[in-house]
Chain A
Amino acid sequence: ETGVTQSPTHLIKTRGQQVTLRCSSQSGHNTVSWYQQALGQGPQFIFQYYREEENGRGNFPPRFSGLQFPNYSSELNVNALELDDSALYLCASSSSGYGYTFGSGTRLTVV
């Protein structure tokens, strides 16, 4: 079985730009969650998608948005990038909420 794949692995963007991060779920997993991990901190929940619908959201502004596709892959979009958006973005896929498999993350740097 394949794991969770995220792309790109690293990205540098300028403040005010928009970015799209991608995640391919583990085979058989219908739920995908996104987390932001700032340097030296634990991951923070951004939102979760289940069968193409957002069904949970953390304390992040609307400029953080997402999509889930019929094959359960997902995108995280961030508009109007700010310096504080610099972080490791982690995608996790799961099924029934008990088995979360994380990808290796996308390191976003905003300059």
Chain B
Amino acid sequence: AQSVTQLDSHVSVSEGTPVLLRCNYSSSYSPSLFWYVQHPNKGLQLLLKYTSAATLVKGINGFEAEFKKSETSFHLTKPSAHMSDAAEYFCVVTTNTGTASKLTFGTGTRLQVTL
């Protein structure tokens, strides 16, 4: 079964410094991986997705993630954090159940950005 593990439940960075949110995946075949962001009391917004094309995926708001098969990782990065980046981030993998394709979420990483 496909699953993802987010290695940090909470990450704190200063505004203007790099962001690294770590995610490892487990999959018996080439997975489809996503990063979603959730701001307080809001729904989920897609940041980026990997679907076996380029291993370096660029997303919205300056975020990017690199798929590393040898390390089974899909870490999310951003060169310079902004206060508006403070939110909960979820690493997600698609899993097949019956004829459906469902999203399996990690436990989330809360990103705090300080001045």
A residues touching B (Cβ–Cβ < 8 Å)?
33, 35, 41-45, 48, 50, 55-58, 90, 92, 97-98, 100-105, 107
Contacts and interface: CB of A to CB of B under 8 A. Distances in A.
B107 A98 contact: no
Interface of B: 32, 34, 36, 41-46, 49, 51, 90, 94, 97-108
Q: Is the interface of A mostly helix, strand, loop or mixed?
A: strand
B97 A90 contact: no
B103 A100 contact: yes
A50 B43 contact: no
Nearest to B41: A107
Contacts of B97: 45, 56-58
B62 to A, nearest CB: 21
A41 B100 contact: no
B105 A42 contact: yes
Contacts of A56: 97-102
